[in-house]
Amino acid sequence: MWLYPLDMNDWPDLAALELLVAVADRGSLSAAARAVGMAQPNASRSLARLERHLGVGLVTRSTAGSRVTPAGFQVVDWARQVLDAATALADGAAALAEGGSGLTVSASQTVGEHLLPAWLSTLRREHPGCTAAVRIGNSTGVVADVLSGTSAVGFVEGPYAPRGVRSVVVDHDELVLVVAADHPWSHRRRAVTPDELLATPLITREPGSGTRVALDEALGAPVRAAQELGSNAAIRVGVQSGAAPAVLSRLAVADALASGALLEVPVAGLDLRRQLRAVWTGPRRLSGLAADLVSLSKAP
């Protein structure tokens, strides 16, 4: 294996990445600055430095507010992974110093990006010495991690419980049909029918993802794939570019819908709700940190 030296000067500032993620989550620079505890003038300068550093336009600014660009949404997804890894590093080092315990968790992309960070944050507050190593993949990969013993517990989405593992429903999710603002469907007055959806090439996740399985199951047949992409962020960028519509978790497109970067189109006669499950092997009842995490993940 070849090893290349890393120039730390080329690494983006973590505070700027946290700010960018907050802009995507909250829909405005002022709200994001408040969320991360940064004065707005400093926040504007921080984002500008990050854009110069990466050489990519991340946010468009206007009198109506700040909107994350299509490229910015892709960077937001990467930034979430970097921030999660930085948190895991800090927590892991602290736990080693204090003799704390750890937990390995696998999660599907939707859960891992939008729900798991908050659950783990609460877990760390309740167990200050604990650490969590997180693996993000599709639902099929999560089940494989649990079955192999790589992860103590996993979180998946889909229309039914996976085989070979124990599971419990912790929450619910909904898939939504989204298009670019200039797509013909953005102006239609009636809902899209299942037959129209089946006949239309979509940008979709890869086979094995919970989103893809749930959509195929709801339609009763495989979708026509215009493109198969391995991340929700890549699909959003493709939809925003006008390449094709997509069906994604509402969690995965909430920021884009709030900013107007994507538009939701109603679908008639199709149940696109799905269950989010914790999965594990072994005893019927989990114990320790895994049990506490699953308990925290259950919707009230």
| pLDDT tens-digit readout, 224-254 | 999 998 888 889 888 988 889 999 999 999 9
Is the backbone of residue 291 left (phi > 0), alpha (psi -120 to 50) or beta?
A: alpha
Return contacts of 218-226, CB within 8 angstroms, 24+ apart.
218/159, 218/175, 218/194, 218/270, 218/271, 218/272, 219/194, 219/270, 220/194, 223/197, 223/198, 223/247, 224/198, 224/199, 224/200, 225/201, 226/201, 226/202
Domain positions in the chain are 11-72, 78-171+276-297, 172-274
Q: Which residue has the higher pLDDT, 144 or 38?
A: 144
- Please give the single-letter amino acid code of residue 214: A
Residue 98 has pLDDT above 60, yes or no: no
Q: Which CATH number fits domain 78-171+276-297: 3.30.1330.60, 3.40.50.2300, 3.90.320.10, 3.40.190.10?
A: 3.40.190.10
Closest CA to 165 of 282, 79, 255, 80: 282
> Given this chain, do its domains 11-72 and 78-171+276-297 carry the same CATH topology?
no
Cα–Cα distances in Å, from 41 out to 150, 152, 206? 45, 44, 42
- In the block, which residue shows the tokens 């037959």? 195
Residue 264 has pLDDT above 90, yes or no: yes
The reply to whether the predicted model has a pTM over 0.75 is no
Q: How many CB atoms lie within 10 A of CB 298?
A: 13
- Please give the single-letter amino acid code of residue 276: L
Q: β-strand 273-280 against 153-158: which pairing, if any?
A: antiparallel
Is the Cβ–Cβ distance between 72 and 20 less than 8 Å?
yes
CA distance 126 to 199: 50
* List of residues 6+ apart from 70 with CB closer than 8 A: 236, 237, 240, 241, 261
Query: For the domain bounded by 172-274, which CATH number is listed?
Result: 3.40.190.290
- Please give the single-letter amino acid code of residue 261: A
- Fold adopted by 11-72: Arc Repressor Mutant, subunit A (1.10.10)
* DSSP state for residue 150 in the 8-state scheme: S
Beta bridge partners of 175: 249
pLDDT of residue 219: 93
- Please give the single-letter amino acid code of residue 133: A
Mean pLDDT in the chain?
86
- For 56-87, what is each residue's pLDDT tens digit? 898 887 766 677 888 888 888 888 878 877 77
